Structure 1
């Protein structure tokens, strides 16, 4: 089974002027360098035989020049061949010319580099064997034309040619490996970025769901509260309609009670219209736990919880805006659950402070020595923040100095 063609071995576009410029530069560089090497070698040959070398050596020099010029002109355009059999055969032929022609050596080096880019062991081995065989044949012919017998020097020269052939092959292999590694790293980075964006979208969807659930829960609470006020209005209005014996003072008090209940119901109705429709599962307002009840329930479960009242008392909550009271109860319930889940056994200190037209609920607990398992998604805190914001307040949380603190505030 053939090896897959690596990214770096893909053929460049023949329509690109830039690539044609590179091809021309490669041919010119191979031709110029090879011609210089040929002239040096030919000059040494003439000097060795006093300008009268044997005809056989002159024939070898002519073949050298012919092969070198052909290889130099062909090496540039051959870069446009797509990886395949024709590409391999053409570059193996150029590599073999290195043994017969000094002039063709630079072009053969480029061909060997391209074969190395393919990263196929069979091609590399074949190229080295061709260079070795052609070098052995050329050196044997040169020795015979000189009237000498082949000796160890010929074998040494062949070994040198083999090493020289290996250098561009290995260099091409390293370059292809590096390009493929970079391509793989880019793909992994792109995949990681896509996963990160997907995770962000999923987290945003989870946050939106949590906020929607809190708006739905608040809408249900307000629905129960409005129903309570409407029932009170109906009761007192019915009393005024059927009790003709009521004194004027009692009528005024009853009418004031009806007016207050109607105003409160109107305010809470406006808030309900900004939230979603109700869903099943949460406690109705009539049975919503109180702050003291939440703390006492936590203590019964063995948790160390303290509640401090500053500027407000439990009695003040019974006569205040029911929506804010229920929101405080929901928030405290979530905070106690959060502390029990992520810092089990740690003391929880809660304070409720009323000042400047606002009520502030603060909860603090020590951070656990080991991270929570499973890790927190933060949805509960998002729900706390959303509930506070729906009432015109806000919430924030932070971890510092070994303590986790949550603050939620709203108009009072």
Structure 2
């Protein structure tokens, strides 16, 4: 609609159907041409001949009509042309070469084109052109006034009409800009809401994957180890094989129960129904966690340094999950079936250390630090501002150290 890189609010004509967009311009042309037609009837009373007066009036009318037709595509240029035509009409009227009709028509055209500039391009272009028009036409009115005109009164009327037209166009521009900004904010809010929903879905999927790994990794490792132990002891040590198979059966039952609970949660989310889940375990279930690993064949020694106190629910869950992962790694990759768990309650953080002896092989570091388990531990620890560090040595010793900083909502040391 216009050249330039700035995006302006769409004028009201653009909201009309294509077949009706000619109506505003046609109405403007009719309004402008009426004074010219009426004034042509008194052409014989002017200084020039009737033919000259009619020809001059026709030229002015053609210029004004062209400005009105092209005002949508070239708003500034057509406004400047209308101002120039108004100056020429005032000058020709002062010489009695045309009547007052073309002067009125040119003034109306200036108002219409200035309204278009303000409506399409805003305050500054409209202000510049309106000021220029007032100065140019006012100078001609004062220096070469038309017959029977009052210079000062005409100038005041000109300022009022031009100012009214320009301010009306600017008001329409500002109104459309306001509506457009509200619409844009609503659109962005909708996009933000959709992106936020997608982000939450991704976080929920990641949380489900972490929980699934935390719950199943230990049990699958137990099943794998005791299935191998049972197959080796089946002929020579049937009692040991029976105990291993019992452990495998219990671990498999636990896994099936956890998978069933997870599927129940997912199905209830899809159907829109709520499901009451068992509370997620924290450090208060540490004894139960150690008993489970002990039944699976891992001998665990526990130490506590400092005064224990209750953590907030999020840090409590994170502490339990990372400790579960550390013991799972010790069970899977340990060399002698033992592990040392140490909880260090400091003044501003909780340290969780799991130490175990690794199997005597060259790729122990690659085996222990591969997989998604440690990635999930780092993500869980970082979610509460904590960190994970793993180290080897001296000798075939692996250390799994997680630091969880305290929060102001923690209850503090217990008395």
When the two structures are superposed, what TM-score results if normalisation uses the length of structure 2? 0.48
When the two structures are superposed, what TM-score results if normalisation uses the length of structure 1? 0.49
Greater relative contact order (CA < 8 Å, ≥ 6 in sequence): 1
